[in-house]
Amino acid sequence: MTSDFLSKRVLSIQPSPSIAANALVAELRAQGRDIVNFTVGEPDFDTPTHILQAASVAMHNGDTHYTATTGTLALRQAIVDKLARDNDLHYRLDEVVAGSGGKHVIYHALAATLNAGDEVIVHAPYWVSYPDIARLNEATPVIIAGNEDNGFKLTAAALEQAITPRSKWVILNTPNNPSGAVYSRAELQELAAVLRRHPQVWIMSDEIYEHFVYEGAHHLSIVNVAADLKDRTLIINGASKGYAMTGWRLGFAAGPRALVAAIGKLLSQTTTCPSSISQAAAVAAFAGDQQPIADMRAIYTLRRQRMLERLSGIKGLRCIPPQGAFYVFANVAGLIGMVTPDGQRITSDIELVDYLLQEGNVATVSGAAYGMSPYLRLSFASAIDTIDEGCRRIAHACARLR
């Protein structure tokens, strides 16, 4: 098959860089390489026991059939209750929709709303899939350059400048992947003030890392600080990160009833419904014991501190402590231009990633994948011993640069 047979939409995008990086790790390990993997974008914890038990009960009770397209009544009620309990956000059952992961819901939301020529505003550094999902739906991603000096956060002035008559969505991600930025109440209020002046722009608020915040940071949705924007805000969340359920593929959205219905219409023609077993498990996750979240957050807090400590002594690399999520977004400008032991000059963060993999057997993801160079994303969703060893290898490899 030649590329002529493929659609222009598919040819316009690249495979997810983070998924590709993780796949490369698996391939190298299968070849016998000892690779420390800092690319992973998921908890390394097992799904909590009470969630597994709920799935088992569902299977043995025969809950193995199609469900309502937007999710079972029990799941949607659990989502409504979770939003009220955790986020002080109040939605009706017909304002929530479940999908096969948060990415799945994001895709369907954009597919349900975008036309050729529309624009989607995305602030760098961004989660790798936002721009390509916009492109797949014939829209143009408008990338706003990030700034380390303000904590990698979108400012009201930058947002105002990016909005045009063709702007349809702005995507906010707090806590942010990859930077760990968490927006404060005042920062969200400033963004809301801009958006009030542009009623054609809807807000997609990706809050999948909401439970993992550090050093006094507090997660807020823009709807918490600007209730008047609720009727054009779609909140994206799910079970993957907070409940260590990435493989269960269960995400959800909450927003205006008409948009949720449109997403549901598309789902009815694509995946029909999420896995019935995953839905039963998610009911237990959202409505059941929440202690596992606190336990994971406490462990991530220790891992975050350890990774920051281990990276701090590496010349040419510096880090802003992340306020949320489970990544360090390290500035590697001081390593660009240096020469490897075999005489190759490193000219980009992409080449640095390759050097660390080949020289140090450590897998990372380049900042270029997230729209901002020269940086590396390193996940601390790994055991302390793994963090220690990976950072030791990075330090050794960097020390060999000249």
Band of pLDDT at residue 19, cut at 50, 70 and 90: confident
Beta-sheet strand order (sheet of 119-123): 96-99, 251-254, 233-238, 202-206, 167-173, 119-123, 140-144
Q: Which pLDDT tens digit goes with each residue over 156-170?
A: 999 999 999 999 999
Among residues of the chain, what percentage have pLDDT more than 70?
100
The mean predicted confidence, pLDDT, of the chain is 97
Q: Which CATH number fits domain 3-46+292-399: 1.10.10.370, 3.20.20.140, 3.90.1150.10, 3.30.590.10?
A: 3.90.1150.10
Q: Collapsing DSSP states into helix, strand and coil, what is residue 123?
A: strand
Taking residues 251-267, report their average pLDDT. Answer: 98
Residue pLDDT, tens place only, 285-342: 999 999 999 999 999 999 999 999 999 999 999 999 999 999 999 999 999 999 999 9
Look at residue 178 and tell me whether its pLDDT is greater than 80. Answer: yes
| Residues forming a β-bridge with 207 | none
Q: 142, 117 in Cβ contact below 8 A? A: no
d(CA 119, CA 141): 6
Characterise 215 by phi-psi region: left (phi > 0), alpha (psi -120 to 50), beta (else): left
Per-domain boundaries in the chain: 3-46+292-399, 49-288
| CATH code given to domain 49-288 | 3.40.640.10
**pTM for the full model?**
0.95
Query: Pick from 114, 389, 387: which is nearest to 234 by CA?
Result: 114
Work out the pLDDT band at 23, boundaries 50, 70, 90.
confident
Phi, psi of 29 (to 5 degrees): -65, -35
Instruction: Quote the pLDDT of residue 357.
Output: 96
CA dist., res. 353 & res. 367, Å (int)? 10
Dump strand ranges (E) for 256-307.
Answer: none
Q: Taking 90 as the threshold, does the pLDDT of residue 38 lie above it? A: yes
